[in-house]
Each structure stands twice: as C-alpha cells, then as structure tokens.
Amino acid sequence: MKRRDLAVFAVVALVVGGVGGFLTGLALPNLTAALVGIGAGALGGFVAVRLTSRGGSTRPAAPAAAAEPDTRELMARLVTINIRARTLGFPEAPLSRVETAIDLLRELVPEVNDNHPSSAVAWEVNRACTDYLPHVVGRYAALTGAQRAEREGEVASSLDALIGALERARDAVRTQKADEMSVAAKFIGARFGDASR
C-alpha cells in the first residue's frame, strides 16, 4: 500500500470505527461493546478503502506494461552523463571514451527506437543510456583521486568494450542484418547487464 493509501485507510478506519463504537456504546453502554464496535468499524473502514482503491475489485492490479522509451529523455540522459563526467574532472582518457560512447548512443538511440522498436538491439542500446554507461561513470566518479588513478585502466577497458559493442550494433543496424543485430544485443546484455546491477 502506498503512503497516501495508508493515510486514507487510517482516517476512514478511525472515523468508521469511532462512529461504530459510539453507536454500539449507545446501544449497549459498556466498554467491551464499545471496543467491539470500534474494531468492527475499523475492519469496515479497511474493507471500504481496499474496495474503493482498486475500483471495487479485491484482486491485485495487473502490473503496468513497460512504456516505450522516450528518445528525448534518453538523449537528455546522455547530456547529463557528459556534464557529470566533465564537472567531476575526469581525466582525458576516460572522458574521451565516455564522450565516444555518448556520440555512438546519440546516433543509435533514434535509429533503433524509430526503425527497430521493441527489438533486442533497441532494448540493449536504451539500457546502455539508462544503466550501463551511467553505472561505469558513477562507479568511477565515486572513487577518490588516488583510486581513480589506480583504476583508470580498468575503466578504460570497460568503456572500450562498450564502445566496441555499440560500434558493432551500429554496423548491424546500418546493414539491416537481423542476425547481427541480435548478436550485438546479446553481447551488450551479456557483457554489461550484470555489471550494472
């Protein structure tokens, strides 16, 4: 239950319970009867909130379908990643690789979402914007200066692998070869999927 639903439940249950307890107390003037009335009222309030919050159904709501990605939002994420890397003072080597990955994604995102929506390659390219690249940048940004110098080669290697995978995806999309797009998508997912969790 959401916080707002809990608040509504609490208010309704208290009001219904209080009214139920008051009416029961008038009918049977003793403490036990009043408490039973309050409990019954609270239960009634709970049932009322559950029924009204789910449109009268007591079944759980079906999960919402995943929305198609908004290309503008994905492009804005890339700008944010670039600004973050620049403002955090990334050294030239990692920064140039981040920007190369961003350039490839700026080219690929509109292409795959317009011409290959809901495909595996579109899914993985979009995840590169939302998960994979932000994960690499975020982990590097979280390091101290000494740790950054120590791990620069590892970060460069990860970014080089992502760039290579995106280049293969771009080539497959350009040539319209479905099997190559599938292979590129599987590689991106296998190489970077676990790393972003």
Q: How does pLDDT run across 175-192, given as a tens digit for each residue?
A: 876 666 665 565 566 655
pLDDT band at 122 (very low <50, low <70, confident <90, very high): confident
Q: Supply the mean pLDDT for the chain.
A: 75
DSSP helix/strand/coil, 118? coil
User: Which pLDDT value is given to residue 197?
Assistant: 45
User: Which pLDDT value is given to residue 46?
Assistant: 60
What gap in Å lies between CA 145 and CA 150, rounded to an integer? 9
CA-to-CA separations, 72 to 31, 81, 118, 129, in angstroms, rounded: 63, 14, 17, 12
- pLDDT, average across residues 1-16: 54
User: Which pLDDT value is given to residue 145?
Assistant: 85
Count other Cβ atoms within 10 Å, centred on residue 63: 6
CA-closest candidate to residue 111, choices 52, 193, 62, 184: 184
- pLDDT, average across residues 94-117: 94
Share of the chain above pLDDT 70, in %: 54
Residue 164 one-letter amino acid: G
CA-closest candidate to residue 38, choices 15, 11, 20: 20
User: Which pLDDT value is given to residue 176?
Assistant: 78
CA-closest candidate to residue 188, choices 167, 113, 106: 167
Q: Higher-confidence residue: 9 or 85?
A: 85
- pLDDT, average across residues 147-153: 91
Q: Higher-confidence residue: 65 or 70?
A: 70
User: Which pLDDT value is given to residue 150?
Assistant: 92
What gap in Å lies between CA 61 and CA 123, rounded to an integer? 26
Tokens at residue 188, please? 């991106």
User: Which pLDDT value is given to residue 103?
Assistant: 97
User: Which pLDDT value is given to residue 24?
Assistant: 55
User: Which pLDDT value is given to residue 72?
Assistant: 94
Residue owning tokens 């350009």: 174
- pLDDT, average across residues 21-44: 58
Tokens at residue 129, please? 């914007």
**pTM (two decimals):** 0.60
User: Which pLDDT value is given to residue 163?
Assistant: 94
Q: Note the maximum CA span of the chain.
A: 84
